[in-house]
Structure 1
Amino acid sequence: MKSNSKVLTIMLIILVSLTLVGVVALIVFLQLNNGDESKEPTIDEIVESSVDIQEITTNLAGDKFIRISMKVQTDSTEAAEELTKRDFQVKNILITELSEMTPEDLEGKQGKLTLESSLKTKINELMDDGEVQQVYITSYIIQ
């Protein structure tokens, strides 16, 4: 009988060990699976958390002027609400940035990307709740 109880004890130890390994594997799997939930937002979520900056006409450095409008995408609807309240500050940043730029600075894709990146950085400095994800130029004319 002693050998039967030793075998039973070993079987119980193996069973408990396998159960623990299974539980740990399940926990790891679930934790890794939760990381997938931070997927890209849908277009509806992007629109809901975005703010339109109405068309502005202002002088560039030199004798030209620009007419421009934009859409600013934030990371949440709360951030979009804050940005809507800060509309006058955003327009001030836009006018100030553009007054330092020449038409040549805004030429081509790289010029527009530089402006969008600069605006994103400066607007994010204002924000208390959330942050700007992307700035999109929606209308653009230099005369």
Structure 2
Amino acid sequence: MKNNKLLTIMIIILVAIILVGAILFVVYVQANKGAQNTEPTIDEIVEASVDVPEIKTNLSDKRFIVVQLKVQTDSKDAAVELEKRLFQVQNIAIQELSDMELKDIEGKQGKITLRSTLKSKINELMQDGEVKEVYITNYITGQ
């Protein structure tokens, strides 16, 4: 009789521990799901963004381009690193642009392609975070 009572108590304790663990797991998953879906505020985006100074370069078709960029990173630390790497960012932009013709960067799709290329090339440099977006804030071409 005493063994049955002890076995019953052990089963109740085991079930209680499993239930508490399951509840904690569900709460943890829900808390992380909410944190992952949270979009950054505009203030957080600005804090994690870096202005790239105006870049003037020739295109491969003997035309020129003047472009200014804003690069959004995933954190303030990444933005600090990117600030230090501005000379490398400018170099990448000049190299990519000098290999393009005006027709390659004209129109919406051309600019999307340029932004995507710059984003991936800059991300290859980054060690503390990543580039989330590259924005073109000024764009002028000429002959």
Q: TM-score, normalised by structure 2?
A: 0.85
Q: CA deviation at 1:111?
A: 1.0
Deviation at 1:126, TM superposition (A): 1.5
1:29-73, CA deviations, whole angstroms, 9 ceiling, x for partnerless residues? 122123221222211111101000122221111121111111001
Paired position in structure 2 for 1:30 = 27
Q: Which runs of 5+ in 2 are unaligned?
A: none
- 1:63 aligns to what? 62
Q: Secondary structure, in 3 states, of the residue corresponding to 1:105?
A: helix
Structure 1 residue 127 displacement after superposition: 1.6
Counterpart code for 1:121: S
- Cα displacement (A) at 1:10: 7.4
2:55 maps to 1:53 = no
Distance 1:93 1:142 in 2: 18
Structure 1 window deviating more from structure 2 (19-28 vs 54-63): it is 19-28
Is 1:20 matched up with 2:17? yes
**Deviation larger for 87-96 or 17-26:** 17-26
Amino acid at match of 1:56: I
| Structure 1 residue 14, shift from structure 2 partner | 5.9
Q: Which residue of 2 aligns with 1:43?
A: 42
Q: Which amino acid letter does the alignment assign opposite residue 106 of structure 2?
A: E
**Runs of 4+ that moved beyond 4 A:** 5-11
Unaligned runs of 5+ in 1: none
What number of residue pairs does the alignment pair up?
140
